[in-house]
Every structure is written in C-alpha cells, then in structure tokens.
Amino acid sequence: MSGEELVSALLEATGETAQMVVWSTLLTVLFGLPLGVLLVTTERGGLTSAPPVKAVLGAVVNVGRSLPFIVLMVAILPFTRLVTGTTIGTVAAVVPLTLGAVPFFARLVETALRGVDRGVVEAAQAIGAGRTRIVARVLLPESVPGLVAGLTVTIVALIGYSAMAGAIGGGGLGDLAVRYGYQRFDTAVMIITVVVLIVIVQVIQSLGDLVARRLSHR
Amino acid sequence: MIKLTDLRKVYENGVVAIDGVDLGVAEGEIFGVLGQSGAGKSTLLRCVNLLERPTSGTVQVDGQELSGLGRADLRRARQRIGMIHQHFALLSSRTVAGNVAFPLEAAGVPRAERAARVAELLELVGLADKAGVHPAQLSGGQKQRVGIARALAGRPSVLLSDEATSALDPATTQSILALLKRLNRELGLTILLITHEMHVVKSICDSVAIMSEGRIEEAGRISDLIATPGARLTREIFPLPEPAPAGTVTVTFAGQADEPVMSALVRKFDVDVNILGGSLEELQGAPVGRLRIRLDGKGAADALAYVRERGLLVEVAA
Ligand SMILES: Nc1ncnc2c1ncn2[C@@H]1O[C@H](COP(=O)(O)OP(=O)(O)OP(=O)(O)O)[C@@H](O)[C@H]1O
Ligand SMILES: [Mg+2]
C-alpha cells in the first residue's frame, strides 16, 4: 500500500471507529446510567427499596457481563437485523456494542454511586428532599468524578470491542489491522494501525482523568 | 415541642435499640441525651424525624403527629425540622452557598429569595466570606457551621443534633456550642442533641436524659436533678467514690457557692469538718459543687439541719 493510500485508509477506518464508538457510547450512557442508578436505589433499604427488582436487574447485568463479546455479537444478529435492518456495517455494529457495554457501564455507575457517603443521602432525606431530587441533585452530582472515570473506561473498552465488531463487517481500525496485517501479511499497516489505536486510547484516558480530577472537589 | 410516647425500635436483626421511651422536650429548651456507645441515642434522634421508622409508639413534633403522615406530608414536616450531623454530611460537589441553598430548593423557594436567605444564614453563622468555597477547603468547625446554616434554612422550630461536636477539637467544640446556645436564645430554637460527652451537657443543656440500653434512666431539668437525692446525673458530673463510705455526708450546692457555709458550721456548731473530696463545676455558667465531708462533734445533727435550711442538698451515707 502506498503512503497516500495508507493515510486515506487510516482516516476512513478511524472515522468508522469513531462513528461506532460515539454512537454506542451515547446509547450506553442513555441506558446504562438509569440501570446503574436502579441497581443502587432498588436494593434493600435503598431510596426505592425493591429487592426483587434488584435481584432481576442484577441477574440480567451479570449475564450480560459474562457473555464474551464475540458470542454476544453473533447471538444477537437477529435482533440487530430487527433494529437496523442489516447485520453488517458500522450502524449494525452499534447494536452489539451498546448491548455489551450497557451492563459493564451500569456496574461502574453502581460502584460510583455507592461511593457517595450514606450520611449525605440521609442528610438530604432529613432536609425533606424527595427521591427524584436525591438522585438528581445528590447521588449523581456527588459521584461525577467516579462517573467520568467509569465512562472513560467504558469508551476504551468500546474501542476494543469495536475492533472486534469491525472484523465481522463493521469496518474501522480493527478491521483494517486484520485485513492488511493478518490476511495480507502487511505488517507495517498492522503496526501503524495499532499505534493509532494506542494513541487514541491514551488520549481518551488522559482526557478522562483530567476531567475527573477537575470535577472533583473532595 | 417534641413528644415521644412509648417509643420502641427493634431492628430487623432483632436488636432492641429503643425499649419503651417517653420523652418530652419543652419549647425553647436545649435538651441533651447522654449515653454510652450503643445506648440507642442515634436511633432515638433518627426516630424524631422518622429517618428511622419506630416499631411502635408515637412521635409528635410541634403539635404534629409524624408517624401517620404520608410521604409528601412527611417531607414537608421534615423541612421544618433541622438536623446536624457528626460528620457534617455536606455535599462535596457544591459550594458552601450551594449547600445552604439545597433545603431551600427542596422547599421550592424561588431563586432570588434563595440567594438573599443564603446570605443571611451565612452571616448568622459567621461564614459570609466563604460562600463560594467548597467544603473540602473548610476546617471541621467551619463545616459544622455550614451544616448549621443549612439546618436553619427552612426556619425550623426544632434542631436535632447527632454528636455535632464529636469530630471537633475542644476549642472548636466550645465555639459551636456557643453558637447553638446563641441560636437557642435569639431564635427561640428548641434543640435536641445527643452526645456521649458530659461536657456538652454541662455547657449548654437545660434538661438532660440519661440513656442506657434503649431506656431512659433519668430525665429532667438539670437544676431539678441537681436538687434530687441520688440523681445519677449529679454523680456523673461530680465523680466521688461510690458508694459513699458509712458516716460521710455528701453536700451538693448550686448557686450558694459564695456563702461560707463550712466555716459557719465550725463556728456555730462546734464541729470538726473533714473534707474527703469534692469538685466545683460550672453548669451553664453558674457554679455548682459537690463536697464529701465527715462531721465530728456533738453539734453534727444540728449542723446538718442548718445546711439543709440553707437550701443545700444533703445526703447522709448510712
Ligand atoms: N441499622 C441498624 N441495624 C441494626 N442494628 C442497628 C442499626 N443501627 C443501630 N443498630 C444497633 O442499635 C443499637 C443502638 O445504636 P445507636 O446507633 O442508636 O447507638 P448510639 O447510642 O448512637 O451509639 P454511639 O454513641 O456509638 O453512636 C446498637 O446496638 C446498634 O448496634
Ligand atoms: Mg450514635
């Protein structure tokens, strides 16, 4: 591959990866954040104590977490087709990516929310704040640094998953590396692709750390 | 102002934290609940604003029965009951002003009014210059002042305090206690505080209840308890060897500390006064003392009668 071809291939692949990761991240937050909140509030003695609900949610999340991503991806192909009308391409890849990341992110949200001092929640209750207000104005704001850290880890994981999703037709950097490096023995392309991935992950992790630190007032 | 009737609290694990408590706190007084760790003090306090649901019994605050209220009414009632906490329980994500504004938001106070009220409250607790600072940058005493400002935001008639000074050093403790006393006097605020430090009771409380194993062992106005023979409070404030050795007399005096009673005994009744032990304490600024003596001489009985006449509490050990 010529230098010029390589650059344009890299740009295109990076764009595809970005597309997959951005969309699946947005959807993961959309579903995973409320799920994580519920995992905390539905436990016995929680804000909306409902142990049976907690048991079901916990089980669902655990199943989702224990499924290897590659298996999940294949297993939900019919669902992916139902939602997007296709099983290949970046848009189709967003479905398994989101499904794989939601339980992961939800657990991280749960952990972050558990870091909020019980006494602070109690103080809010003593003040006469309602449950919605306590979630929106106490639990979530108080755990913002933890949530940002969790989101960073999730995005990095999604970049990894997206490489896998790409390999079965989603495109992106992972796909590029596999196609050239593995199937055509073009080691240079593979190495460059890997370097690009490493740089992206580094940048995102550092950015996430920085934001988390900036938002922490502890 | 606060009335607890036959209150019981049994936790799910079977622990009987409160075992039949009746307690009345009068309007405008500072009421201290003393007791050792595990006595059930926190549970008792948390039952007052129903953070903890009593297993049985009733809770009345400011004439309103709380135990029967629905969720929304209970929230409204809680807005009128302030609470401060041992570890301050401030929102670390908000500034000092933001913390004080929180209860006002919960009560639906409009933004403009909120700002004015927050400024007023910070002024009241002496933190006007810290409005924009985050709690992490404050000292323990300052944090508790923020806690107090937040608790007062809803103009409560009652303030509950769970070991509010236990995490503070002695000097800071004193300044927080002085602030509570001032609020009590200036705003007519009724304060129910729990503590395991006798010192807190001595400095600011009008009344006290001594709690042990979920029960109230003794309760009343401190001045009344001091005048009651055998009161546990007196023994705890003025520790003397117990039981008193046979033949000794224990004299408790409040306010009469400047009268030369002992020297009068020697002069008038020709007795020998042998002082075995004693101590003098300030209770809310007034001197109160307890003295253990042995009286020898023919006039001993008359001497005791004389001491009693002067209004001192006399306990003779058989
Ligand atoms: N949530 C709970 N579940 C079960 N038992 C509890 C709970 N909270 C307190 N207890 C138990 O109830 C008893 C009274 O506890 P409480 O916290 O009211 O005591 P306390 O007088 O405030 O003690 P301390 O001075 O240590 O704060 C203790 O035996 C404690 O272990
Ligand atoms: Mg306690």
Q: What percent of chain A has pLDDT over 70?
A: 99
Q: Is the pLDDT of residue B11 over 90?
A: yes
Nearest-CA distance B17 → chain A (Å): 18
* Closest residue on chain A to B71 (Cα): A130
**Which ipTM value was assigned to this complex?**
0.86
Using the beta-carbon criterion (under 8 Å), do A126 and B105 form an inter-chain contact?
no
Using the beta-carbon criterion (under 8 Å), do B106 and A123 form an inter-chain contact?
no
Q: What percent of chain A has pLDDT over 90?
A: 62
| B297 burial type by CB count under 10 A (0-12 exposed, 13-18 middle, 19+ buried) | middle
Rounded-to-10 torsion of CA B44, B48, B54, B59? 120
Question: Does B37 touch chain A if contact means CB atoms closer than 8 Å?
Answer: no
What is the reported pLDDT for A3? 80
The CATH architecture to which B238-316 belongs is 2-Layer Sandwich (3.30)
Q: What token pair was written down for A101?
A: 């990341």
Question: Does B35 touch chain A if contact means CB atoms closer than 8 Å?
Answer: no
Question: What number of other Cβ atoms are within 10 A of residue A208's Cβ?
Answer: 19
What is the reported pLDDT for B304? 86
Domain parsing of chain B, residue ranges: 2-226, 238-316
Question: What number of other Cβ atoms are within 10 A of residue B264's Cβ?
Answer: 14
**Cα B45 to Cα A120, B2, B91, B211, distances in angstroms:** 17, 11, 22, 12
Q: How far apart are CA A1 and CA A19, in angstroms?
A: 25
Domain parsing of chain A, residue ranges: 3-216
- Residue among A127, A134, A144, A216 with most chain B CBs within 10 A, to mutate: A127
Average pLDDT over every residue of B251-267? 77
Given a contact cutoff of 8 angstroms between Cβ atoms, the answer to whether A8 and A85 are in contact is no
H-helix segments, chain A: 3-41, 51-66, 69-75, 77-84, 90-114, 118-127, 131-134, 140-142, 144-165, 173-176, 187-215
**Cα A79 to Cα A72, A86, A93, A165, distances in angstroms:** 11, 10, 12, 15
Assign A138 a pLDDT band (cuts: 50, 70, 90): very high
Residue in A123, A125, A217 closest to B92 by CB:
A217
Q: What is the pLDDT of residues B16-56, one digit of tens each?
A: 999 999 999 999 999 999 999 999 999 999 999 999 999 99
Average pLDDT, chain B: 91
Question: Does B150 touch chain A if contact means CB atoms closer than 8 Å?
Answer: yes
Nearest residue (CA) to ligand 1, atom 25: B37
Q: What token pair was written down for A140?
A: 């979530």
What is the reported pLDDT for B258? 65
What is the reported pLDDT for B67? 86
Average pLDDT over every residue of B218-234? 87
Q: Is the pLDDT of residue A166 over 80?
A: no
What is the reported pLDDT for B127? 95
What pairs with residue B192 in β-bridges? B31, B160
Q: B211: Cβ–Cβ under 8 A, 6 or more apart, which residues?
A: B21, B33, B34, B35, B39, B40, B41, B44, B217
CA B231 to chain centre: 17
Comparing A172 with B91, which gets the higher pLDDT? B91
Topology of domain A3-216, CATH = MetI-like fold (1.10.3720)
- Ligand 1 centroid – CA B215 distance (Å): 13
Residue length of chain B: 318
Q: Is the pLDDT of residue B206 over 80?
A: yes
Residue length of chain A: 218
Q: Which range has the worst mean pLDDT, A18-27, A126-135, A159-168, B162-171? A: A159-168
To test the ligand 1 pocket, which listed residue (B10, B11, B13, B162) has its Cβ within 8 A of the most ligand atoms?
A: B11
Q: Is the pLDDT of residue A142 over 80?
A: yes
Question: Does B136 touch chain A if contact means CB atoms closer than 8 Å?
Answer: yes
Nearest residue (CA) to ligand 1, atom 27: B37
Amino acid at B29: E
CA B125 to chain centre: 20
What is the reported pLDDT for B256? 62
Q: Please measure the distance between the N-terminal and C-terminal CA atoms of chain A and give it in whole angstroms.
A: 52
Q: What is the pLDDT of residues B61-104, one digit of tens each?
A: 998 999 889 889 999 999 999 999 999 999 999 999 999 999 99
Q: Is the pLDDT of residue A182 over 80?
A: no
To test the ligand 1 pocket, which listed residue (B43, B51, B160, B217) has its Cβ within 8 A of the most ligand atoms?
A: B43
Whether domain B2-226 has CATH 3.30.565.10: the reply is no
Q: Is the pLDDT of residue B245 over 90?
A: no
Q: What percent of chain B has pLDDT over 70?
A: 98
What is the reported pLDDT for B275? 87
Q: Is the pLDDT of residue B299 over 80?
A: yes
Given a contact cutoff of 8 angstroms between Cβ atoms, the answer to whether B273 and B311 are in contact is no
Q: Is the pLDDT of residue B306 over 80?
A: yes
The answer, as to whether pTM is greater than 0.95, is no
Assign A86 a pLDDT band (cuts: 50, 70, 90): confident
Residue B251: φ, ψ to 5°: -110, 125
Residue B139: φ, ψ to 5°: -75, 165
Question: Does A130 touch chain B if contact means CB atoms closer than 8 Å?
Answer: yes
